[in-house]
């Protein structure tokens, strides 16, 4: 972890009409750490992520690294459905952020993309289209595209939606191992409780527009807030 | 009822304003794009090359029918020698630009709207924004400039094939003198007529590309239902609005051209 440096989310509020979704969210995430935001469906987790990424303008609040609010922190975003471009090959998808921003010369882009695809075990699929590769590989391609610009923070929006348990663990494993290897900060939104506790340094529970719990998975396990209990251990109501 | 009418009017004016802003953003964002030639070339292929066959077929049959109809009207006044002039001016000034634009909207405009709508639903537009790529510049600007290039070229194809169709009916089938047919065209059609027709084509290209892109880009806001049905709704609306816009702008431009 990058000791001392933090991604600071300060007072993020967002309402849609009269419906307040986020009501002053504060979070401090040490760079290099993994924080997972949990909460019920439709509670505003993805809205929080989109506000952090700059995809939705918050009504109030800031996102910065160490209170440097002069610019949006460099965040990459992994979407639920990967958001890969169907008409581009794997390597073209990964090269896109560099190529379209003119961030490097073509030869350098090709080298960086090739190197990253090797690291993510995607070299054999470089010339394939997204429709020709498996769901797990698509996730890795989306991660490669997110990593190519060397971002400090990657935002994961429910990365395991629609996956079976085996693939779900494979994706979590991928996030954990690549975070260790590349050192990026993870802010993830997930429903997969308690599986996400295995890979998270911190867990934030979002409810009623506010962060109701923020701590380590261990703290959550040993001393969960009373209201969170039904979410952590759901039970069928008696017939 | 009056308040509902007022609300509806404000919504329409609002939408026209949004469309104008969207269009101006697309127009000015092309120079900031990378690989402009590659993107515009691809868009020319999608809008232009793929629409050539349909344009030629519709142009030929329009010319054939026009030759037939006008021949029998002109015969009543013993003026069948004016057939070439009548066919050429009708096609160059009105039918060519309007029919070509409607054909392109049916083939390429609907595809453009649906493609951008699907990209919106698949979060690809949000993905572009997170990559700090201007989505309007990336998705819309090349198509807008391709339309500005393709619409007049396809209209010219339509005009030429339509006039040839009039010749086939009038001269080859109904016996109008070929010299009279072509000579009347040569005498009657001025450079201004051709420029006026092509100017219309450029305006139709800009307007319809904007409408189709706009409907697709904001499919999540413009449709009543999300997902595939939403894209279907906005695609249908894009085609209908484009056709209405073509006819409205045709009337407006013709009014100005006639006044001058």
Of A99, A179, A81, which Cα lies nearest the Cα of A138?
A: A81
Q: With an 8 Å Cβ cutoff, is B124 touching chain A?
A: yes
* Domain map (residue ranges) of chain B: 38-259
User: Cα dihedral sign for A68, A70, A74, A76?
Assistant: positive
User: Could you report the per-residue pLDDT of B208-231, keeping only the tens digit for each?
Assistant: 999 999 999 999 988 888 889 999
User: Could you report the per-residue pLDDT of A39-96, keeping only the tens digit for each?
Assistant: 988 899 999 999 999 999 999 999 988 777 666 777 899 998 899 999 999 999 999 9
What is the helix (H) or strand (E) element at residue A9, kind and residue range? strand A6-16
Alpha-carbon distance A58 to A61, whole Å?
7
- Percentage with pLDDT > 70 across chain B: 100
State the 10-residue block means of pLDDT for chain A, 239 residues long.
78 94 94 93 92 93 79 84 94 94 90 92 94 91 91 91 82 88 92 88 94 92 81 74
pTM attached to this predicted model: 0.86
Of A149, A127, A76, A106, which Cα lies nearest the Cα of B34?
A: A106
Return the axis-axis angle of helices B96-104 and B52-76, rounded to nearest 10°.
Answer: 150
Sheet with A34-38, side-by-side order of all strands: A75-78, A153-157, A185-189, A34-38, A202-207, A210-215
- Of all residues in chain B, what percent are helix, strand and coil, respectively (each to 5)? 90, 0, 10
Q: State residue A238's pLDDT score.
A: 74
* Domain map (residue ranges) of chain A: 1-74+152-163+171-219, 80-150
Dihedral in degrees, nearest 10, Cα atoms B33, B36, B38, B42: 90
CA B119, B123, B129: angle at the middle one, nearest 5? Answer: 100
Q: With an 8 Å Cβ cutoff, is B132 touching chain A?
A: yes
Residue A76: its chain B contacts at CB < 8 A?
A: 130-131
Contact criterion met (CB below 8 Å) for A75 and A186: no
Mean pLDDT, rounded, of chain B: 94
Residue A96: its chain B contacts at CB < 8 A?
A: 131, 133
CATH architecture of A1-74+152-163+171-219: 3-Layer(aba) Sandwich (3.40)
Mean pLDDT over B61-73 rounds to 96
Q: With an 8 Å Cβ cutoff, is A101 touching chain B?
A: yes
């Amino acid at each position: 972890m990058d000791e001392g440096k933090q991604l600071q989310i300060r007072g993020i509020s967002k309402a849609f009409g009269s419906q307040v979704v986020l009501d002053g969210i504060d979070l401090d995430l040490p760079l290099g750490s993994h924080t997972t935001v949990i909460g019920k469906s439709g509670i505003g987790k993805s809205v929080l992520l989109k506000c952090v990424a700059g995809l939705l303008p918050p009504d109030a609040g800031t996102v910065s690294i160490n209170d440097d609010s002069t610019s949006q922190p460099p965040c990459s975003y992994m979407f639920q459905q990967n958001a890969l471009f169907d008409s581009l090959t794997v390597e073209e998808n990964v090269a896109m952020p560099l190529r379209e921003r003119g961030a490097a010369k073509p030869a350098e882009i090709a080298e960086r993309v090739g190197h990253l695809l090797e690291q993510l075990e995607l070299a054999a699929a470089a010339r394939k289209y997204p429709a020709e590769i498996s769901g797990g590989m698509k996730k890795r391609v989306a991660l490669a595209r997110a990593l190519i610009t060397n971002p400090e923070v990657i935002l994961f929006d429910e990365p395991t939606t629609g996956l079976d348990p085996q693939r779900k663990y494979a994706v979590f494993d991928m996030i954990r191992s690549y975070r260790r290897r590349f050192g990026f900060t993870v802010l993830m939104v997930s429903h997969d409780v308690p599986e996400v506790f295995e890979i998270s340094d911190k867990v934030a529970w979002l409810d009623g527009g506010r962060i109701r719990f923020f701590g380590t998975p261990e703290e959550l396990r040993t001393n969960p807030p009373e209201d969170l209990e039904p979410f952590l251990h759901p039970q069928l109501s008696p017939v | 009822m009056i308040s509902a009418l007022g609300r509806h009017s404000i919504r329409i004016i609002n939408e026209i304003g949004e469309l104008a802003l969207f269009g101006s953003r697309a127009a000015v964002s092309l120079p900031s794009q990378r690989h402009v030639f590659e993107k515009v070339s691809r868009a020319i292929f999608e809008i232009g090359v793929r629409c050539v066959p349909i344009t030629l077929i519709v142009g030929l049959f329009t010319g054939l029918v026009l030759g037939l109809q006008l021949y029998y009207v002109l015969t009543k006044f013993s003026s069948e020698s004016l057939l070439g002039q009548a066919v050429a001016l009708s096609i160059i000034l009105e039918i060519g630009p309007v029919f070509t634009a409607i054909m392109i909207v049916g083939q390429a405009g609907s595809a453009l709207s649906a493609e951008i709508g699907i990209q919106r639903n698949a979060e690809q537009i949000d993905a572009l924004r997170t990559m700090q790529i201007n989505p309007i510049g990336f998705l819309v600007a090349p198509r807008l400039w391709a339309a500005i290039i393709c619409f007049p070229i396809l209209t010219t194809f339509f005009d030429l094939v339509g006039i040839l169709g009039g010749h086939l009916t009038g001269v080859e089938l109904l016996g109008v003198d070929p010299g009279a047919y072509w000579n009347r065209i040569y005498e009657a059609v001025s450079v201004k007529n051709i420029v006026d027709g092509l100017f219309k084509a450029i305006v139709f290209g800009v307007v319809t590309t904007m409408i189709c892109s706009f409907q697709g880009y904001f499919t999540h806001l413009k449709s009543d239902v999300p997902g595939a049905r939403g894209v279907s709704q906005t695609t249908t609306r894009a085609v209908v609005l484009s056709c209405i816009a073509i006819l409205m702008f045709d009337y407006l431009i013709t009014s100005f051209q006639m006044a001058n």
